[in-house]
Structure 1
């Protein structure tokens, strides 16, 4: 008799885990609360426009390849990848930007153009980042965060100092030019922490950025979710949407099932890819591992205010990915991490997928996604959303020297309240828990419950951490843990 696994949620980590478990012979059912699968990576379609609601950056293609190859497949079996050139541009003022292209040679030239002699320093920095990438992404992140000794290898012992210095310290030591330093500090924002609170070892993100590059799946990031759904179903996984979980049933310290839509489903193993904090609220209090105080003390990655905008014309002076760093990065970071409040002058990011992908908007029109990073747990009202939209659109028009406000066909917004409502996200965080030194590997919430047998967790609040590639890896790690603990014969 096959052992049964009930999986809560259908984001990247849950879908990845479902594939590995089904392949190992488990009978797997996914329960998703929303109408469509994908968790944070859902899609919005409106008036001929298509937006990725969540992640828009496709980095570390090797992690995706490694995932699909575990099933004798490749990403190309499901979707077409295009390497972006330019990868992105960064605005520092009106008509003043630096463009990051698709090869390290071109990026070196851009750095030299900004500051003579900087390309030599950049190559030294990127070579170290590549070294870290080889250690981290090809090895360390595939360890389950069970023991501190997982981090102790002959290579990491040599790199021990890089766990106690920070990205900011290293970057600022090598680069006095503020603009170049900001570009090198930007990738760690994907890890959810400030550059001055992120260990130097995480410079592997810079190699992902400059060394490997930025890609776009044709028809958007949601194609990756659809690919994983196709794979999961081909392996026998059942997916039930519009099935929010009311309770996890525990009998004598052992998870035995779930209640969804008032129906009880008995199960040998429960795996939650939903928000970790929320999942524990589905248990009786004596089975909760992590107290409210525990979560309160943790450094969470930001939430976001997002806008999905349909424009009735093509826009000028922007790339597929465009960052707006024309205001003080440190001040905005303080408003996120130190004294949480709505930022006076926010940095923001914009994505225009229709520049690359005709599927994103009707001909002659542009799809725009705008994102402002925010502290989780802030007050979120329609008045604040409107106020901040006007702030960034006015700045956008000034910086890119064009008028766009009158060309807006529609805009939809998504913020703290929506993250809570749609994803049961703790304080409405967007990216999970930050990868600071004290929240790395074995110091993150565990994949396996310490209090309930047969209850497991996966996703961005556990190992390895925030981001799409780490979520895929998290699904693999938890599946391996389950296989180890539950011989499926």
Structure 2
């Protein structure tokens, strides 16, 4: 029997879930509070420049392929993909960098040039990372986190020790060169936790990096959102923007309606891909599964200070993705996780999509996205944003050995207050709930409400975790649980 399913939010998890649910014949309507869809993956355009406001890395192409394959499609039906070479560049000082290219063979050569003998260790490390990837991404992450039994397989039992060691320990056991250590620890930052708190099993992120490579969808990550939107609408999904959900109405223990912009809209099932903590505040207190104290005790992934900058020149000595590790990695991490504060000397990341994609900036000009990871919940005021822009611009010019600041046409910033106002993000976090050992799989907030029938959740605060590929998977998992509920 067809059900009327109301979906809150239009990020990757909501769009993915909507496709699956509409594909089985349900009436699905997405309600998005902002003017445009995409959640954190929105787009900003100005004066001929285009910026991805959120995710800029396209990793794990097989997850995207698997999603579209479920509907008899392939990604190229919706957007054009290019493998980047180099994948990215990592700066450690003035004109001092290591380039990560597009194959493991080339990366081994770069390691060997940095430290003789390291390529042998890297191949060994990557063999295990690939094995973990095949177990995790091709199997475990497609389980809904309902029970700890989901993690118990012959393959995972052989890996049990990796759940009680850490990425940091494993990397440092094999490598002593601090630059190579930083590069190998970098991918797990996408999981939202320090390498010293991330289980060894998550080395599958290194395989996603070195083994599968880094890609760029033409016209940016938003083209992926637009592609999934096209698929959703073909399947019959209705998408409505400027729809602020004010309350989830519960009748006889069931989610029965949403109050949106003062109007009551009935639904048989409610699915929220919006911030999990915020979604529960839309319920009367007795229907909430998790207390404020629960959320306060959780380890959240960082927030971010972002700058979208238009330059009136092409910038030299940078790649599409460029990391600036020219300051103390550990100290910045401590100032995110251990003693939350504005970092004294921040690491930062810069993306220049116009190095690859002519569509995102006028000819002869450059679009730059700069990101500083931050602890969530910090005081966010314009003066601090400006102070940090000056800090990173000074280092940026010095490190790449050229003037750029005087060529700025415009810049826009986005930080903690924006994450809260635009996405109702808990403490303004950018990436969700970190994937630490005690926040993995069945230990994360549940996809299905334990207190309200027909109420479900998806996205980065639930299973399987932060990141775009996990968000797509989250949508598939929750759709499966909803279908099961409908049939009962």
TM-score, with structure 1 as normaliser: 0.99
Note the C-alpha offset of 1:18: 0.1
Please name the residue that 2:424 is paired with: 424
1:376 aligns with 2:337: no
Note the C-alpha offset of 1:485: 1.1
Note the C-alpha offset of 1:358: 0.3
Please name the residue that 1:317 is paired with: 317
1:355 aligns with 2:355: yes
Please name the residue that 1:342 is paired with: 342
Please name the residue that 1:186 is paired with: 186
In 1, Cα distance between equivalents of 2:2 and 2:450 = 25
Please name the residue that 2:289 is paired with: 289
In 2, Cα distance between equivalents of 1:464 and 1:24 = 23
Note the C-alpha offset of 1:172: 0.4
Please name the residue that 2:5 is paired with: 5
Note the C-alpha offset of 1:9: 0.1
Structure 1: gaps spanning 5 or more residues:
none
Please name the residue that 2:457 is paired with: 457
Please name the residue that 1:246 is paired with: 246
Please name the residue that 1:75 is paired with: 75
Note the C-alpha offset of 1:192: 0.1
Note the C-alpha offset of 1:200: 0.2
Note the C-alpha offset of 1:97: 0.2
1:134 aligns with 2:134: yes
Q: Deviations over 1:397-455 (max 9, x none)?
A: 00000000100000000000000000000000000000000000000000000000000
In 2, Cα distance between equivalents of 1:25 and 1:234 = 12
In 1, Cα distance between equivalents of 2:82 and 2:204 = 22
Note the C-alpha offset of 1:2: 1.8
In 2, Cα distance between equivalents of 1:485 and 1:283 = 21
In 1, Cα distance between equivalents of 2:286 and 2:86 = 53
In 2, Cα distance between equivalents of 1:180 and 1:62 = 27
SS for the counterpart of 1:310 is strand
Note the C-alpha offset of 1:24: 1.1
Q: Deviations over 1:186-239 (max 9, x none)?
A: 000000000000000000000000000000000000000000000000000000
RMSD: 0.6
Note the C-alpha offset of 1:170: 0.2
In 2, Cα distance between equivalents of 1:29 and 1:474 = 18
SS for the counterpart of 2:411 is strand
In 2, Cα distance between equivalents of 1:153 and 1:26 = 34
SS for the counterpart of 1:92 is strand
In 2, Cα distance between equivalents of 1:26 and 1:202 = 36
Please name the residue that 2:39 is paired with: 39
Please name the residue that 2:119 is paired with: 119
Note the C-alpha offset of 1:268: 0.4
Note the C-alpha offset of 1:72: 0.2
Note the C-alpha offset of 1:263: 1.1
In 2, Cα distance between equivalents of 1:449 and 1:317 = 50
In 1, Cα distance between equivalents of 2:300 and 2:253 = 30
Please name the residue that 1:98 is paired with: 98
SS for the counterpart of 1:350 is strand
In 1, Cα distance between equivalents of 2:371 and 2:412 = 12
Aligned pairs for 1:120-269 within 5 A? 120-269=120-269
Please name the residue that 1:24 is paired with: 24
TM-score, with structure 2 as normaliser: 1.00
Structure 2: gaps spanning 5 or more residues:
none
In 1, Cα distance between equivalents of 2:26 and 2:101 = 45
1:109 aligns with 2:109: yes
In 2, Cα distance between equivalents of 1:390 and 1:359 = 28
In 2, Cα distance between equivalents of 1:86 and 1:452 = 49
